[in-house]
Structures are given as C-alpha cells and as structure tokens.
Amino acid sequence: MNANHHETSGPSRTQQITLRGPAELADALPFMLGFHPTDSVVLAALHGEHGRFGGRVRLGIPRSPREWATTADHLAECLVEGGSRHGTRPDGIVVFLCQDPAPGETARVVMERLRPFAQRLRTACGALDIPVYEALCISDGLYFSYCCPDARCCPPDGTPLALTGTSVMAATAAYAGVQLRGSLRDMEARLKPSGRPGDEEQQRAALDAAAAAIVPRILEGAEGKGREEVRETTLRLARESMRRFAHRKSPTAPTGPAGSARPAQPAKPVGTTAERDAADDALIGPDEAAALILGLQDRVTRDRAAEWMEGWEGTAALRLWRVLARRCVNPYQEHAAAPLSLAGWTAWSTGDEPTARVALGLALDADPEYVFARLLHQACNEGLDPESLRSCLRSERDTRAAAEQAASASSRRVRTRAARPQGTRQTLGKPGRAGARERGPAAGVRPGGRATGKPVNRAPRHDGQRGTRSGR
C-alpha cells in the first residue's frame, strides 16, 4: 500500500437534500469532503431506505496495481468498522475514483485503467455483505459509471460535470456555509517546499547552521539548562513571528489587560492563496525558520506551541506552521512532522477539518511513527470534539502561569530580604520627626556572635495592622 493514510469522517451534519443519479453524486463529492479529491479513491457509506450519506473514507490511489487488492479490502473494512463504532452499519456504499489523465492519456483511458480497481472494491464490499450502489470514475471534468450499462445516461466517452456553482448541491452548500478549499493537490502544495532551487539551498544552509548550534546546546549543556534555554528562545521567537502575521502593516501590537502584547484584530489577507503564502514566507527569514524548526523537535516546546489554538493566535499560528512546513527541505523532511502536526491541530481546533486531515496525513508521511500526529489523525477521523483537548491545554497553561507568578513573587520577596543588612532593623520615624535615628545591634548581641542576653521582644505593636510594615 502507498504511504498515504486514509481519512474517515462521521455522518454529515449539513442540511439534507436529495441526489438523483450519477451526475448529482459526482457533483456532491467535493462538498462532502470539503475539497476536490485529486488522485484519490473515496468510499461513502449509505444508510437506511433512502440512502442517507454517512461516513466517508479517502485514500490516495496506489500507483502499483499489485496493491489494489489489499487497498480495497482495507478501505472496505475501515468504512464498515467506522460505521459500527457509531452504531450504524452501512446498508450500501458509493465508490469514487478520482484521477486526472497523465500526459498522453485521455479521461476514458484513465477510466479503463482503473476498472480492475473499481471491480476489486465492489467485491471487497460484497464480501462484507454490503452492496455497492454506484462506482464512478471522475477524470478531466468528466464522470463515468462502472455500474450503469445504459449509454443514454452514462455514455462510454463520459459525461461532463456540472459547471461550478450551478448545481442544487452547490447552492445548498453555499446556503449552509460549506466552503470548498480547492483541490487536494492545491492544499498539499501549501504545506510542502516550493521546490525552487535557490530557496531550497538557502534554507538548507540555514538548517545546517541551526542544527550545529542548537543540538549541542540541548545534548551537551548542563542538565536541563540548555534544553530549557532553547525552549524559551523558540517560543519567544514563534510568538514574535505570529505578531508579524497579525499586524503586517503595524508591527507594534496593542497591549492586553495582563500586560502581554495582544493584537486587537488580525490583518485581513488579500490576494490569491499563492500570493498570501508568498507574503507569509517573506515575513520569516531562513535563519528564523531554521531555529523554529529545530526548536519544535522538542516535545515540550511543541506541546506549549499547541496552546496557540484560538482567536488571533490560532489564525496566526496556522500561517506560521504552514511557513515552517514549507521550509523543511531535503534532507530535513522528517522535521516537518512537528509543524505539520501543529497545523493539523490548529486547523481542527478552529473547525477546518479538511485542512486538518490533509496536514496530519502529510505529517504521517514525513514520519509514520510520530505519535502526536497519529493520535490527532485518529481523533479527527473518528469525529471527536476537539474541545476536550482544548480544555486540557487551557488548564495546563493556567497552571503553569500560576506557578510562574508564584515563583516570581517568591523571588521578589527573597531579593527584598537580601537587600537588608544583617543585624539591623528598619524603623519608622514617629510623626513629626525628620527621620529615624540609626540604631546599633540589639542589646546583648555581639556582631557576628551568639546572643548573650534576653531575646528582643518582637511582638507586633498594638497599633499596627497585619500585613503592614509597622505591624510586622
């Protein structure tokens, strides 16, 4: 099987509409997923007498036909098991094969080449006692049916798809607020290096230099000290970078109520997606990106960065993680697992599940054993609510802030006591006096020696109040 990881989702919560025939099924597919699934096989579950859509599973089409049999079995099992976990075993399945023609191919050639794969998917679902009601191939703006033998509705040369935005499904999706994010290929391109030789060489040199400077500080410094210094430096640099995204025209952000800088309103992006990504890339230099990428390899640093998940922080953080993922050039591809996982988590936390699945899938491509990405990918695919994880992160952040505040207050008290000379007492002058007279050592106490007389009575004055200097 290829390296792509399957994506599943639970039943849709959008407004219900009725789809009639292969044409409307093909038109509905991007709206079910949130993007156009290029080079993908998609299985959608149907439930009940009227064929209500349920869970979906998507996987990249394996390049080798020898993998088609195992892939078909795996996808069918995943879809059925996912439905069973939600208490609704599918009553039927619709299969979609989406692939654009290679150079020299036509859409019909693609359809015929994938026909054995479609047949294997049908038999795999049939082996689980679930019929395949329809199997469609979508290629180059045309759709073909592997199940309908009627050439009048499904001609051998394919049927054009409906124009974008003209179908009932498109109108309903627009009314429900469903947003299409382009094709899967476009979404993945936003999270991968650009491939421009000059940019990659410059970033590779910066990563080499950052690795030589940061890794020894983590591994060879005093126990925990070097790692902690790198951690704080990374988080401080990441927050500064996020502020640039939030205030592209105004680098200085207003100050929040707690004294920490907090932008009031994020800057609104303008231009095409490619132009916005290029503008974000220009805000982060190669050396800064390298330091952030290396710093995020630390698990604690990554978990702290995951706390930027809401409001302006979530919006700016997602843009920063995209920039860092695009800077993980060869041979640092595995380092992309950290920023890609953070991008997936932030997108999921802010309600963008399609982007989350794509980012987490790419993170697992970069490092299949990356536990953080695996757990998030599974949770997102099973339809869990990210609020439970958000609550844990908020609690950890609040606990750490309270501990840091207590430590800071304790440090201030220690510094105040250390500033007083030993063997002296501070006194307050009585009202009407110009000042307090300096007093020597207490009676019966030799400087630097043990007490020889009665201890000084240190009971509080009757006119003092608890917590005041005169009432200590």
Q: What is the pLDDT of residues 270-310, one digit of tens each?
A: 578 999 999 999 999 999 999 999 999 999 999 999 999 99
Query: Nearest-CA neighbor of 276 among 267, 287, 265, 285?
Result: 267
Does residue 462 register a pLDDT over 50?
no
pLDDT of residue 169: 67
Between 258 and 417, the more confident residue is 417
Q: Is it the case that residue 431 has pLDDT exceeding 50?
A: no
pLDDT band at 251 (very low <50, low <70, confident <90, very high): very low
Is 412 strand, coil or helix? helix
Which whole-number Å values give the CA distances from 126 to 77, 111, 133, 400, in the listed order?
11, 21, 11, 54
Between CA 178 and CA 201 the distance in angstroms is: 40
The predicted model scores a pTM of 0.74
Of the listed ranges 123-127, 163-167, 344-348, the one predicted with least confidence? 163-167
- Residue 6's pLDDT band, with cuts at 50, 70 and 90, is low
State the pairing for strand pair 132-139/92-98.
parallel
Residue 403 pLDDT: 87
The whole-angstrom separation of Cα 278 and Cα 280 is 5
CB-side exposure of 386: number of CA atoms within 13 Å? Answer: 23
The pLDDT score that the predictor gives to residue 383 is 81
Q: What span, in angstroms and rounded, lies between the C-alpha atoms of 169 and 468?
A: 72
Among residues 444, 435, 191, the alpha carbon closest in space to that of 328 is found at 191
* Short-list 100, 99, 114, 110, CA closest to 68: 114
- Identify the pLDDT of residue 82: 80
pLDDT above 90 for 356:
yes
Q: What is the mean pLDDT of residues 399-416?
A: 78
Strand order across the 159-160 sheet: 7-9, 52-60, 40-47, 92-98, 132-139, 142-145, 159-160
Q: 451 - beta bridge partners?
A: 445
Q: Where do we find the tokens 């609510």?
A: 385
pLDDT the model gives residue 11: 43
Residue-level pLDDT at 430: 45
Q: Which two tokens stand for residue 160?
A: 């054009």
**Mean pLDDT of the 400-404 span:** 87
Most confident of 18-32, 325-339, 444-458: 325-339
Across residues 168-188, what is the average pLDDT? 75
- Residue range 103-112: mean pLDDT, rounded: 95
Band of pLDDT at residue 396, cut at 50, 70 and 90: very high
Q: Is the dihedral of CA 173, 174, 178, 183 positive or negative?
A: positive
pLDDT of residue 290: 97
**Average pLDDT for the chain:** 81
| Owner of token pair 């501990």 | 403
Most confident segment among 81-95, 215-229, 257-271: 81-95
| pLDDT mean over 433-460 | 43
From CA 45, how far away is CA 22, in angstroms rounded? 15
**Separation of alpha carbons 472 and 467, rounded Å:** 7
